[in-house]
Amino acid sequence: MNLDFDKQGGFVTVVCQDHRTGAVLMVARADREAIERTISTGEMHYHSRTRGLWHKGATSGNVQRVVSLTPDCDGDAVLARVIPAGPACHTGTTSCFGDPGAAGDVSGVLQQVIEARKASAADATEKSYTQKLLENRNLRLKKLGEEASELAVACADGDAVRATEEAADLMYHAMVALSALGVTWREVQRTLGDRRT
């Protein structure tokens, strides 16, 4: 990875992004040692003015597992795509920029909920609806078909309110079905972006 630490006094800017949802979690600084430690451990390390080398989540447990590190064109900033184990912000919020859902990214928040349900399914004594869908392929596919049919009927009837509700139901069930395959909604959004004309 070609980084120019000298441009910013021995540091590069790190923009940390949730790999699953695309939400920007935080912006921090890293020196050469922090980047090397990040690469060697697979978890994000930063440089803090007060703490020096800082392993994100070392005390809180909210580590950030690295998916990719991509330098910008000038080599003085890095986009870190991560899978966070908890909130990124010291205030307890998912992002240092507030609730990702507040800016209209409801799909990102929903993806986080689905992934959290998926991760906790083995320990749950009483399964949530999402967990039941994730564990039952036939139920998942049946609900996906039902919701698509209900949306089609609402559109055929010209019922905008019902169509909106059915579209939301279909999106949720599609996200759960995709999650069962290991596919995130973010990947669907990227594919849609590639199809722009």
Full set of structural domains in the chain with CATH? 5-84 (3.10.20.810), 105-194 (1.10.287.1080)
Q: What's the pLDDT band for 103 if we cut at 50, 70, 90?
A: very low
- Mean predicted confidence (pLDDT) in 39-68: 92
Q: To the nearest whole percent, how much of the chain has pLDDT over 70? A: 94
Q: Is the pTM for the entire model greater than 0.75? A: no
Partners of 83 in beta bridges: 65
CA dihedral angle for residue 133, residue 138, residue 140, residue 143, rounded to 10 degrees: -120
Residues listed for the chain: 197
Q: Are 46 and 58 in contact (CB under 8 A)?
A: no
Q: Are 109 and 21 in contact (CB under 8 A)?
A: yes
pLDDT (0 to 100) of residue 54: 92
Q: What's the pLDDT band for 101 if we cut at 50, 70, 90?
A: low
- Mean predicted confidence (pLDDT) in 101-105: 53
Helix H or strand E segment including 95: none
- Mean predicted confidence (pLDDT) in 167-184: 92
Buried b (16+ CB within 10 A) or exposed e, 123-136: eeeeeeebbebbee
Provide the token pair at 87: 């909130």
pLDDT (0 to 100) of residue 143: 95
- Mean predicted confidence (pLDDT) in 97-108: 64
Q: What's the pLDDT band for 68 if we cut at 50, 70, 90?
A: very high
Of 68-72, 75-79, 99-103, 158-162, least confident by mean pLDDT is 99-103
**Dist CA 133 CA 174 (whole Å):** 11
pLDDT greater than 60 at residue 185 = yes
The 3-class secondary structure across 9-38, one letter per residue, is: CCCEEEEEEECCCCCEEEEEEECHHHHHHH
Closest CA to 26 of 41, 10, 13: 13
pLDDT (0 to 100) of residue 123: 75
pLDDT (0 to 100) of residue 196: 66
pLDDT (0 to 100) of residue 11: 86
Q: What is the pLDDT of residues 49-60, one digit of tens each?
A: 888 999 999 988
Partners of 28 in beta bridges: 14
Tokens 């060697």 correspond to what residue?
40
